Structure 1
Amino acid sequence: MTARFQSITPGARLSDRVAEALAAEIRAGRLVAGEKLPTEAALVEQFGVSRTVVREAVSRLKSLGLVDSRQGSGMYVCEAGFAPLSFDARYAGSKAAVIQMVEVRRALEAEVAALAAQRRTAADVRRIRSAMAALAKAVRAGGDGASEDVAFHRAIADAARNPFLMDTLQYLGQFLYGTTRVTRANEARRADFARQVADEHRAIVEAIDAGDPAKARLAASNHMDNAIRRIEQADPAFWQQEGEALARPLTGRMPVPS
């Protein structure tokens, strides 16, 4: 690998900043498809962060479909099937951009949930419930649960068994993850919001477990409608303090670590 990274200045969410730096190298073509990522130890040294931070960063890249693991060999850059998305910079960090991405999620997640209800196996349901439990655990530990939320919805998508839907979700992965970070951060500020989200997730899971596509579709659609409502009801201070910064990656322009 030819890229050299600067140490990350200590601050919040170091793993996201490491992931963003690596993602920028991949999208710029300096880390090419099929190329092996540096070892964990090398990334720790180059970024000046802990092994835990590096592992979380690589896990995020994997969830976005940018890298994949090869057993006993390491992590490799994935083939890019499409050019990366890029949106007009004037929408960067705006509440409207977040709401519009949730509208995209609503169209996808509703159909995914319905298909999952039709096609799920007992093993699928166990994985979905395990992901929901992991999300609840992360929230109890004081986190916003963004990564766990993405994993929960990914488990539902896996149960739908539609490779085209999966490819679409993977293609949109960066933006769906960014939207989830914003909605989760907002919801973490209010106990009533957090309870609503947990209840909505349970409703989706119960409908899938019951094999009821119509109910699952409605539960997933309602979940996204309510996510929009919660964004609209967010304290203005949230956008001034966190929302704008968290929403910025929705433009497809990753910030450069300082």
Structure 2
Amino acid sequence: MVVDKIPTRKVSEAVAEEVEKLIEKGTFQAGEKLPSVRELCEMFGVGRSAVRDAITTLSGKGIVYVKQGEGTYVYEFDPSRLFNHTLMLPSSKDIIELFQVRKILETGIAEKAAIHRSEVNLERMEECLNDQTENNWESDFQFHLTLAQSTGNEILIQFMQFISATIQKAMIDFHQYIGQKPETLKKIHQQHREIFEAIQSRKPKDAHKKMGEHLSFVEKELLESHVLQEESEQ
């Protein structure tokens, strides 16, 4: 296979674009497993972190999905039929509706994760928590995605990935807002830690409750930031 080498600037974005082009051309077919991270590194002449970040980007766009312990696969259908990946959460109604879905989905995910999580899952969650020492939406998103992976339920994992682009947008908006509110950021980190501890201790009811409290708090803060933004634009 002949592919162009990737320039050093914006490496992960460029890798994501090239993989997406190969999928569009049919080089990588729907349902097919992508080459391994090592093979993609060699193919594009880049490092492992760039490839991993590119896969996260493509996963967020609903183009690929990661099957834990197996690899990365191209989606067999267009998830945009179910969800609009360009949704920019322009209204309070969109935010409320998104969090209605998240509260139904992620409280159940947290509960199942407390039952089925492995030591590897816990290690990955802890990595995400340790990355949240700064205002980092990506580690926030990865923490929530890791919880879904911890359930061992492929449908739940894929459903989370279907709506991940919209969730990412909400997280980016939220982290931009709380960047100026260190106490709120500290509260978010503490909530994530409490969810983790409930899952680590195999307490599904506590995990369900803590996740619900966390999402309600984030929704309230995000709605507040949206109202302030609207007022500043008037």
Structure-1-length-normalised TM-score: 0.64
Aligned twin of 2:197 = 206
User: Could you tell me which of 80, 101, 114 is aligned with 2:76?
Assistant: 80
Deviation string for 1:10-43 (max 9, x for gaps)? 9xxx68976886698589x455535979x77998
Question: Following superposition of structure 1 onto structure 2, how do residues 133-212 of structure 1 map, counting pairs within 5 Å?
Answer: 133-136=130-133, 139=134, 144-212=135-203
SS at match of 2:225: coil
Secondary structure of 2:132 counterpart? helix
**Which amino acid letter does the alignment assign opposite residue 175 of structure 1?**
T
CA change 1:21–1:124 in 2 (3 A) is closer
In the TM superposition, 1:67-106 aligns within 5 A as 67=64, 78-84=74-80, 85-87=82-84, 92-96=88-92, 97-106=94-103
1:121 aligns with 2:118: yes
Size of the alignment, in residue pairs? 217
Which structure has more relative contact order (CA 8 Å, sep 6+)? It is 1
Change in Cα spacing, 1:234 to 1:15, as seen in structure 2 (3 Å) is farther
Structure 1: unaligned runs, 5 residues or longer = 45-50, 70-74, 242-258
- Is residue 107–residue 211 contact of structure 2 (8 Å, CA) maintained in 1? yes
One-letter code aligned to 2:128: A
List alignment gaps of at least 5 residues for structure 2: none
Q: Please tell me the root mean square deviation across aligned C-alpha atoms, in Å.
A: 4.1
Matches within 5 A, 1:34-45: 34=32
Scaled by the length of structure 2, the TM-score of the pair is: 0.70
Identity %: 17
| Other-structure match for 2:57 | 60
Cα separation, partners in 2 of 1:119 and 1:36, compared to 1, 3 Å:
closer
Residue 219 of structure 1: aligned partner? 210
Q: How many angstroms apart in 1 are the aligned matches of 2:143 and 2:74?
A: 22
Counterpart residue number, 1:252: none
Q: Deviations over 1:176-219 (max 9, x none)?
A: 22222222222223112201111110110111112111110010
Shift of 1:239: 5.9
